[in-house]
Amino acid sequence: NQVSFDYSLTNGFISAEEIKMMESVAENAKSQLLNKTGAGNDFLGWIDLPVNYDKEEFEAIKKAAAKIQNDSEVLVVIGIGGSYLGARAAIEFLRHSFYNSVSKEIRKTPEIYYVGNNISSTYISHLLEVIGDRDFSINMISKSGTTTEPAIAFRVFKKLLIEKYGKEEAAKRIYATTDKAKGALKNLATEEGYESFVVPDDVGGRFSVLTAVGLLPIAVSGADIDKLMKGAAAMRERCINNSFAENDSVKYAAVRNILLRKGKSIEVLANYEPALHFVNEWWKQLFGESEGKDQKGIFPAAVDLTTDLHSMGQFIQDGQRTMFETVMSLEKSVCEIILEEEEVDLDGLNYLAGKSVDFINKSAMKGTLLAHTDGHVPNLLVNVPTQDEFSLGQLFYFFEFACGVSGYILGVNPFDQPGVESYKKNMFALLGKPGFEAQREELLKRL
């Protein structure tokens, strides 16, 4: 039941010598990561998280999740970037495809909505309508505690909560996931008595899915966070201890860098299961924010297939040849539908009678792998054995470790994000935030 990596389809693109040469570069990058000698080495707490996490807090997370399941019809998860995507990726992968709309009898756990990941008044207003006068709780997630998007949403939903339950009761329905000591959210949590969970100092946002950031919403959804951690721990073992030939994560990092050096500067992550859509989104942030700096990096793009074969498929097959593709293949689908024979074969599908929809999906995938390879798009495969917590834990860790190694191969600090600040400064200046007066004048002249 192992998540695994297969680059055999890159035969015509990459030679054994190239792999050999990159092996030592990748091993060196891995040593930098494990010996904590590389850039950003104060943000490596994620490496040991699957085995070295705060067990007491882990139990408190489960307790809080049970309380929310008990007293709330809806959980509002407020956060953006690394404080949002991991939880959503996990819940959408592990739970029902129509989680919020399927009946309570099937779902069993509260509806979960995400807000604070944009600045749309329409989105916020519509979510207020969805909640209506139902019982709800809030998980406000912000490591810094000062990010504008979630802070705005928190104001709105906190007000609704206080109007509904009064200040004291409302405070018991707010769960703050933030820094252990500093930041506006931590101060507010201390002041108002919210139950708080910690984002460790040495774990950056996009590497934080296995902390309370991801674990509390995931546990509320009814998914098994113990199994998620076990999956991550199993992959950590392999990443840390295996030599290059047996180390799928390090090999993935190596192969993508070989391809980059050959002019393949775009990586398209593809899935064939809608449940993986937000894993794509999480992955885009992980690699985009970690590698895209100092005018370097592989641009991470993503497609949902076969859906996007009817839109982006044309470009991948036939457009500018600057990309490679990484396909996440879910080996075993959760549900099975067998196509039946019809008496009159009007739609011409009787040749598929007796075949499962998943078999057809896999055939589409295999056909596409070969077609894209023939179209000079090197295809890499990440096999995901099952749609469950153990596989997902492995997958999260597989990509995180590869990202750290790959960043060091590229020669960047994979654990900072200086570029994110530029838009914030402009936004604050335009909004008239105190301290930004000079920039404001400059910007207004340019608009």
Query: What is the 8-class DSSP label of residue 287?
Result: H
CA angle 416, 420, 426 (to 5 degrees): 145
83 binds ligand PA5 (CB under 6 A): yes
Q: Indicate the residue among 81 and 300 with the shorter CB distance to ligand PA5.
A: 81
Extended beta strands in 185-311, E state: 195-198, 266-271, 299-304
Question: Is 73 part of the annotated catalytic residue set?
Answer: no
Q: Indicate the residue among 10 and 208 with the shorter CB distance to ligand PA5.
A: 208
Query: Coil, strand or helix: which one is 388?
Result: coil
Rule CB under 6 A: choose which of 205, 288, 300, 393 binds ligand PA5: 205
196 binds ligand PA5 (CB under 6 A): no
Number of residues that bind ligand PA5 (CB under 6 A): 14
Question: Is 289 part of the annotated catalytic residue set?
Answer: yes
Catalytic residue of the set 111, 195, 281, 289 = 289
80 binds ligand PA5 (CB under 6 A): yes
Q: Indicate the residue among 140 and 384 with the shorter CB distance to ligand PA5.
A: 140
State which amino acid sits at residue 169.
E
Cβ contact 10:255 at 8 Å:
yes
φ and ψ of 198, to 5 deg: -105, 135
Q: How far is the CB of 85 from ligand PA5 (least distance, A)?
A: 8
Cβ contact 177:212 at 8 Å:
yes
Compute the distance between CA of residue 89 and CA of residue 302 in angstroms, rounded to an integer.
14
372 binds ligand PA5 (CB under 6 A): no
Q: Indicate the residue among 46 and 272 with the shorter CB distance to ligand PA5.
A: 46
Interaction pattern, residues 400-429, with ligand PA5; x per rule: CB under 6 A: -----------------x------------
Q: In Å, how far from its chain's centre is CA 259? A: 23
Q: How far is the CB of 144 from ligand PA5 (least distance, A)?
A: 3
Q: How far is the CB of 79 from ligand PA5 (least distance, A)?
A: 6
Residue with tokens 């992955």: 283
Residue nearest to ligand PA5 (CB): 205
Give whole-number Cα distances, 190 to 45, 159, 180, in Å.
25, 18, 11
Q: Indicate the residue among 75 and 270 with the shorter CB distance to ligand PA5.
A: 75
86 binds ligand PA5 (CB under 6 A): no
Residue with tokens 């894209």: 372
Catalytic residue of the set 424, 425, 441, 442 = 424
72 binds ligand PA5 (CB under 6 A): no
Q: Which of residues 111-170 bind ligand PA5 (CB under 6 A)?
A: 142-144, 147, 150
In terms of Cβ atoms closer than 10 Å to its own Cβ (0-12, 13-18, 19+), residue 445 is: exposed
Contact stretch for ligand PA5 (CB under 6 A) within 59-67, 76-84, 167-175, 338-346: 76-84
Compute the distance between CA of residue 341 and CA of residue 353 in angstroms, rounded to an integer.
5
305 binds ligand PA5 (CB under 6 A): no
What is the signed CA dihedral for 148, 418, 396, 14, rounded to 10 degrees?
A: 140
Cβ contact 26:410 at 8 Å:
no
Query: What is the C-alpha R_g of the chain?
Result: 23
Compute the distance between CA of residue 148 and CA of residue 134 in angstroms, rounded to an integer.
27
Rule CB under 6 A: choose which of 40, 200, 204, 378 binds ligand PA5: 204
Q: How far is the CB of 207 from ligand PA5 (least distance, A)?
A: 7
Q: How far is the CB of 194 from ligand PA5 (least distance, A)?
A: 16
Compute the distance between CA of residue 347 and CA of residue 358 in angstroms, rounded to an integer.
19
Rule CB under 6 A: choose which of 45, 81, 300, 378 binds ligand PA5: 81
10 binds ligand PA5 (CB under 6 A): no
Compute the distance between CA of residue 4 and CA of residue 331 in angstroms, rounded to an integer.
11
Residue with tokens 């709780």: 137
Contact stretch for ligand PA5 (CB under 6 A) within 58-66, 81-89, 257-265, 436-444: 81-89
Active site residues: 289, 424
Sites of contact with ligand PA5 (CB under 6 A): 80-83, 142-144, 147, 150, 204-206, 289, 417
